[in-house]
Structure 1
Amino acid sequence: MNVQILSRKLITPSSPTPHHLQNLKISWLDQFLSPHNYLPFIFYYPSTGDENNEERSKQLQNSLSEILTIFYPLAGRYIDNNLIIDCNDKGVEYTEAQVSGGLSLLLEGGELETELRNHLAPHPVQPDNSPLVLIQFNMFESGGVAIGLCVTHRVADAYTVFTFVRTWATACKLGVDEVLHAPSFQLPSFFPSRDTISSPNRFIGRNHHKIVVMKRFVFTGAALSKLKAVVSASVNGSHQPTRVEVVTAVIWKTLTMVAQAKHGRLRPSLLSHTFNMRGKIAMPIPDNSCGNFINVALSHFTADDETKVQLHDFVDRVYNGIKNMVSDCARVSSDDELFVMAEKIRIETIKAFTRSEMDLYMFNSWCRMPVYQADFGWGKPGWVSGLYVPGVEMVFLVDTKDGDGIEAWVSLEEDTMLLFQENPDIKAFTGQEL
């Protein structure tokens, strides 16, 4: 398969942003994140047999222009020195591409398709004044389309991205007047930026010379039911594990065993799990707040835990880490309280990352987000995927289309991945990896 770029343009808001909204200060939560990191997604739509892709592209562009009036910061440009988004209506980048072959071949998967997937989303460059959102509309020669999307993490978390995409889809299918809830961009007023925050580039690969590969492991609903039953029998009903808890625990346990095989001993590790704080803190934050409103829940495996290496032990660690974060957030009633909590977590994470004798495992869950609700008028996506990000070791969890299972996108060093994918638990509870 070959991807040929046909056109590239900027889509601007259908009406200008009011003067009083043109300078949006970022929050200190935005400052914590890397300015050069984009959130990439691809939405795949199988052929309906009667598609007019030229008309589809026009509808996408027109509706995108309309919703940029309410998502006005995304059409602006980030100014690093001033810690602001200049909401100047310069627009988002929109690219059309032709792909040889059919989408069905890509959806069948395989190692050779990983590189192709990375060509279905725009590749952002990093100069100042670059667009905050980049979109690529891919038309497959034998039918089907895919929409690749990259949004800078500096101004958006996954909740914001999926809210944006769902709103865009609604406007494209039904008209912008059917968009019922406008996003809120009030987070900077609750959590203003701070001069004391150091450089956000906190996770530069300590083994940057290593080759990192990504594979997808599918935990079906049936497999998760078996896992939850095994864990529930071992924890004596103390709590019913969630799908995310058991998948996280299986992967963490496996990574711990792999590290033991590589180093000849059990190694301490810190698990970092992204946590959506919307609706979780004692402050009047709008539930539809867009921007970055995330923290991380931490769980520990220490030398004292050498006798606790069963799956239910790892489930307990994950559960307790999330429970503690929920409890801590519920007590937060001010900007300063949240900052102290977040800074403590950040310092602990950075220390773990820089300690050669300790492993840090970073997880990000998009489960229960409206990933498969993006119906632009030609049905919901047949699949939604992430992208391979070179050099970054991380685990992303996302619901399967039926909502019962979980896809785990695992990025590891090449030698670690070889051991990981052969682990008995991984082979027993997952489908074919990509």
Structure 2
Amino acid sequence: MASHNNPLKILETCRVAPFPNSSQSATELSLPLTFFDTFWLKFPPVERLFFYQLSHSTLQHFNSTILPKLKHSLSLALLHYLPLAGKLTWPPNVPKPIISYIPDDAVSLLVAESTADFNRLSGDDIRESPELRHLTPELLTSDERASSMALQITLFPNQGFSIGITTHHAVIDGNVATKFMKSWAYLCTKLDTQDPSLLPELTPFFDRAVIKDPTGLYMVFLKNYSGFHGVRYFRSQPAKLDGGEGERKVNFLFPVDYRNRMDPPLPANYFGNCVFPGQAIIKARDFMEENGVVIITEKISNMINEIEEKGVYEGAEKNLENLMTVEAGAQTLSIAGSIRFNVYGVDFGWGRPKKVEIVSVDRTGAIALAESGDGNGIEIGVVLSVNEMETFKSVFVSGLQN
């Protein structure tokens, strides 16, 4: 039963497989990791939450209409995204992990009902992070394997529903995760048509041969990350909260998508990771200056220009070394998400999301970025302690007023 501390009632736990009676669903698939994938092996799963407002979402309507459509279209979408129904495996005595799918594989789906206030959870006010964590599923993991993806659909009776998606970062990046959600949503809107097909721009491209590795970055990344625990280096805190000496160095990390920066460029629908962190060491005083945004933007712009000139390979080993040798406990700012994913375009036929959150920033400490729901700006998400959040509110409001 739902309780005040955990207002969640589990309705069903099931596995959704790629649609049966298809030659695709009976096909085994194995994908090697690239050096882009290997970089993310030790990072926590990415958890994103989509809220959909629907006032007539009674339990009966949910069970008879909404849930069957979501399950059926999910099964159809998985036909195109077989690795997401599979797993990341690293068997003993095998030097390289692989992503694999066999016909018995399926995605774990948890269906629940919540008595929580949908409008508050999907609003812009401050919330406790455990309130959102109830709505996201855990990945099944062991020493030798991990699920690629897990899903949770939660009904808020007469208010709406949410979809929580958790993905292994070594399998896909945010670009692909968003394309999968759009594929699932698109097929959900086409269930009334006979043999609905997926749009070409949403159909994943699996050929790993397009990722060249002339300098052996795969083995370099794999060797170095065997002893790396990732997240402890990437704990963030907005700049002006920390104060302290202006000469103190701040490690600023931001995701760089290399799809269009490879030679030749990768297909836009490439399945896998093609993201690597850009890194800038910035003095604390730059964040605290009145025109700090301009200063930092200029520094990042210069770094992007340098990346455009050098590409992914030149200096990659040195960049990895710099990322791994950041002093433990040093202040770090990192970014999750992107304002280019159009996450608010994921419409299953009941309207655009009311709110989209990256829940996993409560574990990584990253600052979440997305385009705003109305398309007129950006959304920024941060997770802080109570005292830090109060200070952040004061600093943020003061900044807007000035």
Taking structure 2 as the reference length, what is the TM-score of the superposition? 0.82
Q: Distance in 2 between matches of 1:340 and 1:98?
A: 51
- 1:195 alignment partner, one of 219, 233, 243: 219
Offset, 1:104: 2.3
The residue type equivalent to 1:278 in the other structure is: R
Q: Distance in 1 between matches of 2:113 and 2:69?
A: 18
CA separation of 1:362 and 1:408: change in aligned 2, threshold 3 A: same
Offset, 1:130: 3.8
SS in 2 for 1:63: helix
Q: Tell me, yes or no, if structure 1 residue 96 matches structure 2 residue 79.
A: no
Q: Is the Cα–Cα contact under 8 Å of residues 52 and 162 in structure 2 kept in the other structure?
A: yes
1:175-214 counterparts in 2 under 5 A?
A: 175=191, 176-181=196-201, 182-187=203-208, 189-191=210-212, 194-197=218-221, 198-199=224-225, 201-205=228-232
Q: Is the Cα–Cα contact under 8 Å of residues 342 and 371 in structure 2 kept in the other structure?
A: no
1:227-286 deviation line (CA, Å, top 9, x unaligned): xxxxxxxxxxxxxxxxxxxxxxxx5xxx1x43334xx55411121111122223332411
SS in 1 for 2:71: helix
Which stretch has the larger CA shift, 372-381 or 99-108? 99-108
Q: Distance in 2 between matches of 1:401 and 1:342?
A: 36
SS in 1 for 2:382: strand
Q: Distance in 1 between matches of 2:28 and 2:211?
A: 16
Partner of 2:281: 300
Report the RMSD for the aligned CA atoms in angstroms: 3.0
1:47-126 counterparts in 2 under 5 A?
A: 47-49=54-56, 52-54=61-63, 55-81=65-91, 82-89=96-103, 90-108=105-123, 110-111=125-126, 113-126=128-141
Offset, 1:122: 0.8
Question: Percent identity, aligned pairs only?
Answer: 20
Q: Tell me, yes or no, if structure 1 residue 344 matches structure 2 residue 311.
A: no
Q: Distance in 2 between matches of 1:21 and 1:285?
A: 24
1:360-375 counterparts in 2 under 5 A?
A: 360-375=332-347
Partner of 1:147: 163
Partner of 1:165: 181
- 1:405 alignment partner, one of 364, 370, 377: 377
Q: Is the Cα–Cα contact under 8 Å of residues 45 and 145 in structure 1 kept in the other structure?
A: yes
1:228-377 counterparts in 2 under 5 A?
A: 251=238, 255=239, 257-261=240-244, 266-302=247-283, 310-329=289-308, 331-332=310-311, 338-354=312-328, 358-377=330-349
Q: Is the Cα–Cα contact under 8 Å of residues 92 and 133 in structure 1 kept in the other structure?
A: yes
SS in 2 for 1:280: coil
Which stretch has the larger CA shift, 138-147 or 151-160? 138-147
Offset, 1:321: 2.4
Q: Distance in 1 between matches of 2:177 and 2:37?
A: 14
Offset, 1:20: 7.8
The residue type equivalent to 2:98 in the other structure is: I
1:316-356 deviation line (CA, Å, top 9, x unaligned): 33333244334423553xxxxx34433322222222343x5
1:162-195 deviation line (CA, Å, top 9, x unaligned): 0000011000112432533311122455246733
Offset, 1:378: 0.8
Q: Which runs of 5+ in 1 are unaligned?
A: 215-250, 333-337
Q: Is the Cα–Cα contact under 8 Å of residues 234 and 365 in structure 2 kept in the other structure?
A: no
Q: Distance in 2 between matches of 1:324 and 1:282?
A: 19
The residue type equivalent to 2:73 in the other structure is: S
Which stretch has the larger CA shift, 155-164 or 137-146? 137-146
Offset, 1:315: 2.5
Q: Distance in 2 between matches of 1:50 and 1:260?
A: 48
Q: Distance in 1 between matches of 2:90 and 2:349?
A: 38
Q: Is the Cα–Cα contact under 8 Å of residues 270 and 299 in structure 1 kept in the other structure?
A: yes
Q: Tell me, yes or no, if structure 1 residue 137 matches structure 2 residue 153.
A: yes
The residue type equivalent to 1:190 in the other structure is: I
CA separation of 1:370 and 1:100: change in aligned 2, threshold 3 A: same
Q: Which runs of 5+ in 2 are unaligned?
A: none
Q: Tell me, yes or no, if structure 1 residue 32 matches structure 2 residue 39.
A: yes
Taking structure 1 as the reference length, what is the TM-score of the superposition? 0.77
Partner of 2:16: 11
- 1:46 alignment partner, one of 34, 48, 53: 53
The residue type equivalent to 1:203 in the other structure is: G
Offset, 1:147: 0.7
